[in-house]
Amino acid sequence: MIPTEQETGSTEHSPENRLGKVPFIDLLFALATLIIVMFFVWPLAFDYLKDGLGLEAVWVVALTVIFQNSLLLCAIRFFILRKNQLEWSDIGFIAIPLSKCLQTLYLVLPLVVLVGAVNATMIYLVDRDFNNPQLSLLAPQGFSLQAFLLMVLVTGTIAPFVEEITFRGVLLRWLEPRFGAVVAIATSSLLFATVHTVPMLIPALTVAGIAFALISRRSGSLWPAIILHGAFNMTMTSLLFFALAQQEAQGNSLTGF
């Protein structure tokens, strides 16, 4: 449930960064949960939902994403907030005018173009035969309207919400008082890109992470970054499904179906 203004206890950004006082061991436990979820929980949950329950592949992916993000959110709630007596406002849930949040939507198209340009440059310089593995993950059974709507919903709401809490709400705010804004933004953005586990996409996703970090720092709130991140993910997911639909259409035309 999204924290209310009463729960955060403040509507203005506090100049004191209480998160910076969180012991490294607590941060380590939270990040360890991220690693465990990615490399152990994900495959176990995926196999159970697919083989144990016999669900369709698209539902397996969606439910696995929901499950892993829920576990990560619980770890942050316990190791970072509850253990250190912090509030949701300490990780950036500061109420700001809705108009300021929605203004970030003007940045979606420029960010998509910039990230796409970085990605295209990497493909040109490193591997011109690169195929984005995210496409097969998002649509394991090929293009379908059900898969498209479900993945747009998951990647546009749940994933950006928890990722912004993790990388901009916790990691960025923990690093900044120790190493300064530049190092904090660069490090948190690089880690954000790395956990997506596609080496070719790391430069492009690092650029996206930097944009989310700058928006979060400038506004003093996570909400604009969450909205921008969600809109960015929805746009990129739509483009991936459009590319998949075009591939299948071309394949059908070649085979006569």
Give pTM, 2 decimals: 0.87
| Maximum mean pLDDT: which of 15-29, 54-68, 118-132, 157-171 | 157-171
Q: What is the DSSP string of 179-213?
A: H-HHHHHHHHHHHHHHTT--GGGHHHHHHHHHHHH
pLDDT tens string 156-205: 999 999 999 999 999 999 999 999 999 999 999 999 999 988 999 999 99
Measured CA to CA, the distance from residue 180 to residue 169 in angstroms comes to 16
Least confident range of 116-120, 233-237, 253-257: 253-257
pLDDT tens string 210-222: 999 999 999 999 9
High-pLDDT (> 90) share of the chain, %: 60
- Residues 194, 90 contacting (CB under 8 angstroms): no
Residue 253 has pLDDT above 70, yes or no: no
- Residues 196, 205 contacting (CB under 8 angstroms): yes
Measured CA to CA, the distance from residue 164 to residue 248 in angstroms comes to 34
Phi, psi torsion values for 94, nearest 5 degrees: -105, 130
| The pLDDT value given to residue 141 | 67
Looking at residue 15, what DSSP letter applies?
S
Q: Would you give the distance in Å from CA 27 to the centre of its chain?
A: 18
- What is the average per-residue pLDDT within 16-26? 90
Measured CA to CA, the distance from residue 17 to residue 22 in angstroms comes to 10
- What is the average per-residue pLDDT within 66-92? 94
Residue 11 has pLDDT above 60, yes or no: no
- Residues 173, 164 contacting (CB under 8 angstroms): no
Model confidence at 140, pLDDT cuts 50, 70, 90, reads: low
**Number of domains observed in the structure of the chain:** 1
Residue 38 has pLDDT above 90, yes or no: no
| The pLDDT value given to residue 39 | 83
**Could you tell me the residue range of the domain that residue 136 belongs to?**
5-255
| Maximum mean pLDDT: which of 97-101, 130-134, 178-182 | 178-182
Least confident range of 8-22, 56-70, 149-163: 8-22
| The pLDDT value given to residue 17 | 85
Residue 257 has pLDDT above 90, yes or no: no
| The pLDDT value given to residue 251 | 61
| The pLDDT value given to residue 252 | 56
